[in-house]
């Protein structure tokens, strides 16, 4: 919600100045380029989700600029001249109070103020309080998602946390017990996945939303391979969607994953899970 406030300010300025709102982001995430072996990054939004969120916030243009080691060596002056001025023709640059840019993070707000006179653009700094709240929320949101606390996570996000991916062929064991599942291959390997367990979700297939029960885990009762999978049973749905892309939105965690004594016991628990997810 803190980030949304910043985006709202950008769109507000664009209207005031009869201009267009532009968000500049980098792909891939800079840390994966600078620290490929130890970047520690998990994403709340993959590229497609980010594009959708920006559109919902009324952003006119989203620039996904390729981040490379060569680009990382640009000085703060080169960064502003080549990207913001020549590349974007920025009229007003909006940044957070602790924003750093350029080689070795040498550029800051004061650097922008100095260069603004040279290149004739304006600069606006977002107050520290708003950014601090936003950063704290990002950490809390990640922790909440991992813990299955979607009451907090979804409230802080301003919408339901979700996954996007392609339906791929699985072992199809769910069909044998009356609960067929769609196996999902997520679009971005850095996407943050909730902890193992069963979740109440909403599934969007070709623009239509359905209730669903999702299992994330290694399926210890039916598999010995310990390979983590993402499977969703779409309630009151019977269509072939292999190869199609779907969106899953998390509402709450129903239970943790655990191994059952028998296949029948698992089947009975799944029936209860689906019943709870139907509410």
Instruction: Inform me whether the pLDDT recorded for 129 exceeds 70.
Output: no
Distance CA(54)–CA(48), nearest Å, equals 10
Tens digits of residue pLDDT in 233-243: 999 998 999 99
Tens digits of residue pLDDT in 136-192: 678 889 999 999 999 999 998 888 999 999 999 876 665 656 788 999 999 888 999
Taking alpha carbons only, the member of 110, 123, 155 closest to residue 4 is 155
User: What pLDDT score does 221 carry?
Assistant: 67
Instruction: Quickly count helices (H) and strands (E) in the chain.
Output: 9, 10
pLDDT band at 225 (very low <50, low <70, confident <90, very high): low
Tens digits of residue pLDDT in 89-122: 999 999 887 889 999 999 999 999 999 999 999 9
> What's the CATH fold of domain 160-277?
Elongation Factor Tu (Ef-tu); domain 3 (2.40.30)
Domain 2-141: state its class. Answer: alpha beta
pLDDT band at 13 (very low <50, low <70, confident <90, very high): very high
Q: Collect all residues with Cβ–Cβ distance below 8 Å to 142 and sequence separation of at least 6.
A: 42, 44, 192
Taking alpha carbons only, the member of 254, 248, 252 closest to residue 191 is 248
User: What pLDDT score does 131 carry?
Assistant: 60
Give the lowest-confidence range in 5-14, 144-153, 220-229.
220-229
Instruction: Inform me whether the pLDDT recorded for 256 exceeds 80.
Output: yes
* Local structure of 261: helix, strand or coil: coil
> CB 128: neighbour CB atoms within 10 A?
11
pTM value is: 0.81
145 token code pair: 């998602």
Instruction: Inform me whether the pLDDT recorded for 3 exceeds 90.
Output: no
Distance CA(109)–CA(86), nearest Å, equals 19
Helices 128-147 and 150-157 sit at what angle, rounded to 10 degrees? 150
Residue listed under structure tokens 């600069």: 123
**Ranges of each domain in the chain:** 2-141, 160-277
Q: Collect all residues with Cβ–Cβ distance below 8 Å to 233 and sequence separation of at least 6.
A: 174, 179, 180, 181, 182, 212, 213, 214, 215, 270, 274
């Amino acid at each position: 919600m803190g980030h949304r406030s910043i985006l709202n300010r950008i769109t507000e300025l664009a209207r005031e100045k009869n201009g267009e709102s532009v968000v500049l982001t980098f792909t891939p995430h800079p840390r994966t380029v600078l620290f490929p072996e130890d970047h520690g990054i998990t994403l709340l939004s993959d590229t497609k989700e980010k594009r959708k969120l920006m559109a919902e916030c009324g952003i006119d243009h989203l620039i996904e600029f390729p981040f490379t080691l060569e680009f990382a060596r640009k000085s703060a002056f080169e960064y502003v001249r080549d990207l913001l001025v020549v590349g974007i023709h920025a009229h007003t640059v909006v940044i957070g109070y602790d924003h750093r840019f350029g080689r070795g993070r040498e550029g800051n707000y004061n650097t922008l103020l100095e260069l603004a006179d040279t290149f004739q653009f304006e600069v606006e700094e977002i107050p520290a309080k708003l950014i601090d709240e936003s950063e704290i929320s990002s950490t809390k949101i990640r922790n909440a998602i991992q813990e299955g606390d979607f009451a907090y996570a979804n409230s802080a996000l301003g919408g339901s946390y979700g996954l996007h991916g392609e339906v791929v062929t699985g072992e199809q064991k769910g069909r044998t017990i009356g609960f067929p599942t769609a196996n999902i291959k997520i679009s971005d390997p850095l996407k943050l996945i909730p902890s193992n367990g069963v979740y109440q979700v909403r599934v969007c297939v070709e623009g239509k939303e359905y209730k669903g029960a999702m299992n994330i885990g290694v399926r210890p009762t039916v598999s010995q391979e310990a390979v983590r999978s993402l499977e969703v049973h779409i309630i009151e749905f019977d269509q072939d969607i292999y190869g199609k892309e779907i969106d899953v939105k998390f509402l709450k965690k129903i239970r943790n994953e655990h191994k059952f004594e028998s296949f029948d016991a698992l089947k009975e628990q799944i029936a209860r899970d689906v019943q709870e997810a139907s509410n």
